[in-house]
Structure 1
Amino acid sequence: MNILIIGPSWVGDMMMSHSLYQQLKIQYPQCNIDVMAPNWCKPLLARMPEVRNAIEMPLGHGALALGTRYRLGKSLRHQYDMAIVLPNSLKSAFIPFFANIPLRRGWKGESRYLLLNDLRSNKKDYPMMVQRYVALAFEKNRVPEAATIPVLTPYLTVNQTQQAETLKTFEKQTALLADRPIIGFCPGAEFGPAKRWPHYHYAKLAEMLIERGYAIEIFGSPKDVEAGENIRNALPQAQQVFCLNLAGQTNLNQAVDLIANCTAVVSNDSGLMHIAAATQRPLIALYGPTSPTYTPPLSDKAVIIRLIEGDLIKVRKSKDSAEGYHQSLIDITPQKVIEKLDELLAKS
């Protein structure tokens, strides 16, 4: 059986989708799984052994482009027995439909009645996104309930030769860190500072860790360079040499290799948080207005810190501080984080 997955467009969602691919291999042991996703996803998919091919989705996140979708679907005809559509949008279901794939499976989403012929409508029975993904591995009348649905932990393979090459690429920058064990910081988050732990808290945590003999490596996209510099510049001058801001300097493959080299990681709720979980690094995950019930880090080496109750709070901008930080994240003290980190490292 050949299966086409229309994959998600976000790093964290892509990582959670790995649980689905693992379950498909259990349900259909001889299946081949191809994933259509944005080009940037390829480094992650290449590290998932269950995936045969990554097919580039050439269209941007909001583009309808029906003509392009038709041509792409037509090029995939007679190749697949089943398609699974993970995004909820109407447009994401067009390519499997145009490809004439016999079985087209997905959640009801955005009015896709004519495009999907195995349509699921009980999404609310599964409170976690990963459960919703895994449910699509099962035939419609055989889906386990949320309490018993198997969720296999996402993981990313790390090739030691490739990792050594990555470490060599950055050896001049990391030389001043000496042989100190590394704690990774992932201070960025999509949609701005409302989902971020304050930079001054990160800096205080870095100061305490450096005093204990650790070094800090900061990871993120080009958008996170400023957040990384704010952390580094808030450190005492003598300690700044032990804090390396790599945000915006790595590609995704390199980021995975470097995160996998860390002793532990401290992260906001972000895509890199899910990558750290998938590399099985001890992880402190800091949540504020987003919900760890819906998208937690899927690792038994992760500890979540959240001081408020309830589901997702839909906030893009916060007025709780001049910098735009949310009060629930401001209230998480560096002392609280280092205590949890100590406990986690002691177990590890």
Structure 2
Amino acid sequence: MGKPKILIVGPSWVGDMLMSQSLYRQLKAQSPNCEIDVLAPDWCRAIIERMPEVNNTIEMPVGHGSLQLGVRRRLGEFLAEQQYDQAIVLPNSLKSALIPWFAGIDLRTGWLGEMRYFLLNDPRKLIKSAFPRMVERYVALAGPGVASAKELPEILPPKLTIDTDLQQQAIKQFNLPSSKLIGFCPGAEFGPAKRWPDYHYAALASKLIEQGYQIACFGSAKDAEVVEQIKDQLPDEQQQALIGLAGETTLPQAVDLLAACDAVVTNDSGLMHVAAAVGSPLVALYGPTSPDFTPPLTDKAEVIRLIDGYLKIRKGDNDQGYHQSMIDITPERVMEAVQKQLAARETEQGVA
């Protein structure tokens, strides 16, 4: 039997890309000799290269939300030469299904959406209540159609490879301790509404520093401002114990350094999913968004949320400040959860 070649049209967000690894792991479990290529934005390459299930990454030359029909057609014609047996389209847009159709791939699988029925010849009708979690919707595309998540095999969580040599280099580069390090991920897409307040992060950091820990704050360059806000609220004698890495690390360095943390405190963000995928104990803080749909896929997480339901967050909401449900999560409550995660880590290391 030959090696089935599968093209995945991947998602465009960090968290979604991490969750898609569960699909790749399931495809490999079903057919160990299959070859998986992922079509995704170039920034995703750093994440995908840490997924051992993926053979190649193909850069998506079209920006998120852009049509550029001619560019998609030319890429499809190039991919036709690769002779894929199947394409699995993860985004629900019509645009995302065009390239496999232009490539003439025999089997094109995906959920129905945006009037793209004619582009898919293995369409699935999604009943959202039957597949409440996004990762279930991804994994369900690995095999023949199933009626609900209950019929799926055990979902294999995302699991990124750690480069220990690069990890040690990054620890030295940023002058981080080799132990007693706590990671903070205080940023989130769409502004403050999804974020735990900076003054709560500062209060928690102060308590942890008093116990001898140092704090590494991760994020993109746009998160550097909130990291500085956290640091500025610490007593002068504690400020050196908080290291601002937002915008300073590459994505591979962030992956490796999050794996080096004893625990991670994080908002609902892409870095939350990275921390889960490298096995770091974490405390995940949710407000308007729901952990029922995109939880951290790990058994080493405690999720804290004080409200029920889902409140849609839009880009225009970012001037409205912190959501009350996030303000109501106290530093004392989070400190308790962090201590619980640290104790579990020590027990695990003792057993090992």
TM-score range, shorter chain: over 0.9
Distance 2:68 2:148 in 1: 37
Distance 1:185 1:114 in 2: 46
Residue 109 of structure 1: CA displacement? 1.6
- Show the counterpart of 2:172: 168
- Does the aligned pair in 2 maintain the 1:127–1:294 contact within 8 Å? yes
Q: Deviations over 1:302-344 (max 9, x none)?
A: 110000012x20133798x987000000000000001111112
Distance 1:318 1:270 in 2: 18
Counterparts in 2 of 1:138 and 1:144: CA distance versus 1, 3 Å = farther
Distance 1:32 1:340 in 2: 41
Q: Does 1:316 align with 2:314?
A: yes
Distance 2:123 2:167 in 1: 42
Distance 2:115 2:168 in 1: 48
- State the TM-score, normalizing by the size of structure 1: 0.94
Query: Which of 46, 50, 53 is matched with 2:49 structurally?
Result: 46
Pairs within 5 Å for 1:109-120: 109-120=113-124
Amino acid at match of 1:109: G
Residue 345 of structure 1: CA displacement? 1.6
Distance 1:55 1:279 in 2: 24
Residue 87 of structure 1: CA displacement? 0.5
- Show the counterpart of 2:349: none
Q: Deviations over 1:49-74 (max 9, x none)?
A: 00000110011101100000000000
Q: Does 1:339 align with 2:336?
A: yes
- Does the aligned pair in 1 maintain the 2:190–2:313 contact within 8 Å? no
Query: Which of 27, 37, 45 is matched with 2:40 structurally?
Result: 37
- Show the counterpart of 2:27: 24
Amino acid at match of 1:221: S
- Does the aligned pair in 2 maintain the 1:287–1:306 contact within 8 Å? yes
Residue 227 of structure 1: CA displacement? 0.7
Amino acid at match of 1:128: R
Distance 2:99 2:31 in 1: 23
Pairs within 5 Å for 1:289-328: 289-310=288-309, 312-316=310-314, 324-328=321-325
Q: Deviations over 1:22-68 (max 9, x none)?
A: 00012222210000000011111111100000110011101100000
Distance 2:326 2:315 in 1: 13
- Does the aligned pair in 1 maintain the 2:179–2:262 contact within 8 Å? no
SS in 1 for 2:109: strand
Amino acid at match of 2:143: F
- Does the aligned pair in 2 maintain the 1:107–1:123 contact within 8 Å? no
SS in 2 for 1:51: coil
Query: Which of 9, 12, 16 is matched with 1:13 structurally?
Result: 16
SS in 1 for 2:295: coil
Amino acid at match of 2:102: F
Query: Which of 128, 131, 134 is matched with 1:126 structurally?
Result: 131
- Does the aligned pair in 2 maintain the 1:187–1:218 contact within 8 Å? yes
Amino acid at match of 2:246: A
Distance 2:186 2:144 in 1: 40
Pairs within 5 Å for 1:216-235: 216-235=215-234
Counterparts in 2 of 1:318 and 1:339: CA distance versus 1, 3 Å = farther
Amino acid at match of 1:335: E
Q: How big is the alpha-carbon RMSD for the aligned residues of Structure 1 and Structure 2?
A: 1.6
SS in 2 for 1:345: helix
Q: Deviations over 1:141-191 (max 9, x none)?
A: xx37312422101011002112122223223xx3xxx56511000000000
Q: Does 1:87 align with 2:85?
A: no
Pairs within 5 Å for 1:52-63: 52-63=55-66
Counterparts in 2 of 1:340 and 1:148: CA distance versus 1, 3 Å = farther
Q: Deviations over 1:263-308 (max 9, x none)?
A: 1000000000000000100000000000100000000001100000
- Does the aligned pair in 1 maintain the 2:262–2:281 contact within 8 Å? yes
- Does the aligned pair in 1 maintain the 2:8–2:39 contact within 8 Å? yes
- Show the counterpart of 2:143: 138
SS in 2 for 1:54: strand
SS in 1 for 2:19: helix
Distance 2:68 2:7 in 1: 20
- Show the counterpart of 1:64: 67
Distance 2:20 2:73 in 1: 25
Counterparts in 2 of 1:233 and 1:325: CA distance versus 1, 3 Å = same
Which sections of structure 1, spanning at least 5 residues, go unmatched?
none
Length, aligned pairs only: 339
Which sections of structure 2, spanning at least 5 residues, go unmatched?
346-352
Q: Could you tell me the percent identity over the aligned residues?
A: 60
Q: Does 1:260 align with 2:263?
A: no
- Does the aligned pair in 1 maintain the 2:191–2:319 contact within 8 Å? no
SS in 2 for 1:304: strand
